A and B are shown apart, each in its own frame.
Chain A
Amino acid sequence: MRTLRLIWVGWKFHVKSLTLSGFFIVTSVIQPIIFASLAYLLFRIGAREGTLLYVALGAGMMGIWSSTLFGSGGAIQWQRWQGTLEYCIAVPPPLLLVIVPLTLATATIGLYSLTATLVWGRLFFDVPLDVAHPVAFVVALPVTVVGLGLLGLILASTFVLYRNANALSNLLEYPVWLVTGLLVSLSLLPGWVGPISWALAPTWGVNALREAAIAGNPWPEIGMCLALGAVYLVIGHFALQHFERLAREQATLSLT
């Protein structure tokens, strides 16, 4: 119970805090709207038959990935710059329970993206917002956010070992958009991309949302998203332990 309360309070605090950040507003609202507009215009003039809702969901998911990538990738470094990392580690609860709410919050902020791209699409591009399986859609959304948030835990605990975590975030934005099939069908990409995409939660998350919205069976994708989240949690736990041990040994907690 105390664990759940800690996660809840931490998540709420970080969602509020990130909402006040201009950078995150650009990343999670304006950038997805711009990419969604690009995609709507491209698919309008293109020869491919298809639904704009497919594009809208992909563009929204791009924003969820961006906010997770930049938010979680720099999560520990931020705490370090703000001088709060020592406190995060010194408090009685394990570091994992302090960082997970933050990474979940960065993925949650991405929901602004999905909302923004859907509303934008509806208002200016006549994107139909008819969801075939509303219940499945409502389930798929938080599951996707949790999947990405836990992937964010791995980013948070590994990027911190790299001096320029921000550069790594810059590098990984487009490739993940590409290999998870957010706006490009995976069938167009080389075969070796497939296994990479299967290991990434955004692939299953966006498929779950699309299956739920455009008619299909989203439950296998929802299950895969949850299973991957559990794997990320285990990996993130060990990576975080490794970081904490190194930081204590080398006395680098307050190193800015």
Chain B
Amino acid sequence: MTNARVFFVGGYLSYRALFNWMHWSYYIPTMLGAPVFQVLFFAYMGRFAEVENDEFFVVGNAVQLSAMAGIYGMAMTVGGERWTQTLSQLMATPANRLPLFLGRALPLIANGIITSAFAFTVGWLLLDVEIAASQIPALAVVVAASAFACTSLGLVVGAIGLRVRDVFFLANLVVYALVLFCGVNIPLESLPNWMETVSRGLPLTHGIEAARAIADGASLAEVDHLVWTELGIGACYAAAAFGLFKLFEFEGRRRASFESI
């Protein structure tokens, strides 16, 4: 019961504590405005380079945008605690660490799905990329799986935030790496072999592949292996994050580094 409370109430309060995000003047430009232009930028870049079509870029970027909230949000929940000097208090609580940090991840997964849905809508309204209504539920499942996997990677970033002072540096790096490696804007088969190999171990790659197949008319059953792989990758990152949280919590206590800014 206590763990459930920590998971739901703690996660909700932590999300609300991202004050900037909760205010419309921050949320709309960052979580909705910037994605519009990201989709347009890459779609036009594809047109200019004469690569693929608008649908390729809309689907790739819309799914990728589900990563934004998860990765930056998790970095901010830990980095923010450090910045406001409350990380020590958080680490001093007897609360179980699993619900404590997973609870913080849940609202970010929901946020990622909203951002992604908005990007798909923008693609439909501004670029005439039409996805059959019958495909939307399957697409929603894929986006949810990708948002989960990316938030799990965000948990790893957050865990590293217990150890390093500037976790936002790492969060930026991870988001850009996902854009480059995961076939968001470049067909996977066109990437150098080593990049394609790396991409297979990252979240998003399989999600984007599944989303593109669904947008082209495939059923969820036809791409279920990709969805399960995406979920499996997400679970691996979540497990790694839990181990890192344990390790860096121990290290942080030993080095008294929770309050260093």
What is the interface of chain A, defined by CB distance below 8 A to chain B?
22-23, 25-27, 30-31, 34, 37-39, 41-48, 162-164, 166-168, 170-171, 173-175, 177-178, 183-185, 188-189
A-B contacts, 20 listed (Cβ < 8 Å) = A22-B168, A31-B172, A34-B176, A34-B180, A37-B180, A41-B186, A42-B51, A42-B186, A43-B49, A45-B49, A45-B186, A46-B50, A162-B25, A167-B20, A167-B29, A170-B29, A170-B30, A174-B41, A178-B41, A184-B47
Q: For the complex, is B261 an interface residue (Cβ under 8 Å from A)?
A: no
Give the top 8 A-B pairs by smallest Cβ distance, nearest first: A46-B49, A174-B37, A171-B29, A47-B50, A22-B169, A167-B29, A46-B51, A164-B26
Nearest chain-A residue to B47 (Cβ)? A188
**8 Å CB interface, B136-170 against A:** 166, 168-169
- Contact: B176 with A31, CB < 8 Å? yes
From known contacts A22-B169, A41-B190, A175-B37, infer whether A48 and B48 are also in contact, taking CB-CB under 8 Å.
yes
Q: For the complex, is B255 an interface residue (Cβ under 8 Å from A)?
A: no
- Contact: B172 with A183, CB < 8 Å? no
From known contacts A45-B51, A46-B50, A48-B50, infer whether A167 and B44 are also in contact, taking CB-CB under 8 Å.
no
Q: For the complex, is B46 an interface residue (Cβ under 8 Å from A)?
A: yes
**Nearest CB of B to A8, in Å:** 30
Residues on A with C-beta less than 8 A from B106 are none
Roughly how many angstroms separate A45 CA and B51 CA in the complex, as a whole number? 7
**Nearest CB of B to A134, in Å:** 28
Roughly how many angstroms separate A173 CA and B29 CA in the complex, as a whole number? 11
- Contact: A185 with B173, CB < 8 Å? no
Residues on A with C-beta less than 8 A from B177 are 34
- Contact: A39 with B50, CB < 8 Å? no
- A23, A41, A189: which contacts B44 (Cβ < 8 A)? A189
Interface centre among B45, B50, B51, B187 (most CB of A within 10 A): B45
